[in-house]
Amino acid sequence: MLKISAGSADLGALRAPALALLLEQSATPALGTLDRAVTAAIQRVIAARDFRGTRDETLHLLGTENGVERLLLVGMGKVTDRFAALKRAASIAARRANQAGFGRLAIFAGDVTADDAEVIALGAIAGSWDMKEFQTPAPEDERRAPLTEVVVLSANSPAAQQGIARGRAIGDGHSLARRLANLPGNVCTPEYLAETAREIADRYGMQLTVLGRAEMEREGMGSFLSVAQGTPQEPKLIVLEYRHGGDRPPIALVGKGLCFDSGGISIKPAQGMEWMKFDMCGAAGVLGAMEAIGQLRLAVNVVGLVGSTTNMPSGTAMKPGDVVRASNGKYIEIINTDAEGRLVLADVLVYAKRYSPAVVIDALTLTGACVIALGHTATGLLGTDDVGI
């Protein structure tokens, strides 16, 4: 796990393998007591316009043997949203440091508040995140040391440390969601998601309920089970309850957890089908959110619900034209078996009603048509509460 801490902003006393300077476009950095030779080198490259501070621009300079050994200049562009700019620049800095094998990185961004430190920590966690557990290791002489420590430099270290703690919690939630999403479908099964939820519950004292096939049959969840009938893997309805908000009604987070979606009998094209391991990203997001909420110890009531199975073609799989009965008594005719997400979530949403939630937030990869309509930089959002949206 990446260690993140706050440190003194006295650059003259800094001893570090690498220092990242997060700089706005066309701004003159206030480097204080940083070594004169290093400061002069930075000023020269800026004056020569070798580094202009444009967004995502980077420049690597050598420092001194006994102080800051390397410098990484990272441009933030013309900043209109300081938090977003700091997060992005910190992410780039951490990624470069991880790739270069620096091991330890100090980050300086001028006067850093607690909120600034939070987004810098969040960016550093995102940028240094890597997933190598399913990769063949490189030869020993080609390996570089991973980034293991980041120090956020601030004139007010206690305040910065508070921000870092918040960033750490949110970043750990992001990292958990990213790892779950990227796991192959033969590893990230419904049982694996249930076990992940169990670990979260144990860490933060949450109440966990897991329903399997037999329990769902007793609940009359014919809609959910119609998808699960094509696979021998045990389907799971996972419920995590976090209760620290008194008598207030909870927020319900609902996530679609299709660990692989072949489309079923209405099978998808072979090209790109491996991407359908990502059909459980809604579930990954819910579990990541519950991890962050637990770390932050928020004074709220939250119920996280995940409906997880796989959608496979088999001799027992649902067929176009089948009619199933959901747990609320509604009958559903299945026209296309690749519409499995709404079949699973129909019963999960009915189950969520028993918690009388104040609001339900449903996260799911429901249809590729959303990408066709909005592209890869926008997310589709709809609902009945204009204020919430």
Residue of 188, 209, 199 lying closest to 309 (CA atoms): 188
Tokens at residue 32, please?
A: 């204080």
| Catalytic residue (one of 179, 213, 268, 325) | 268
Are 153 and 108 contacting, i.e. CB atoms less than 8 angstroms apart? yes
Torsion of CA 60, 62, 65, 68, to 10 degrees: -40
Are 206 and 309 contacting, i.e. CB atoms less than 8 angstroms apart? no
Kind of pairing, strands 359-363 and 207-211?
Answer: unpaired
Tokens at residue 359, please?
A: 């609001």
| Catalytic residue (one of 82, 342, 353, 354) | 342
- Residue 78 contacts by C-beta under 8 Å, 6 or more apart in sequence? 24, 25, 26
d(CA 98, CA 88): 15
* C-beta atoms surrounding 159 within 10 Å: 17
Are 308 and 236 contacting, i.e. CB atoms less than 8 angstroms apart? yes
Verify whether residue 168 is a known catalytic residue.
Answer: no
Q: Which residues are the active-site residues?
A: 268, 342
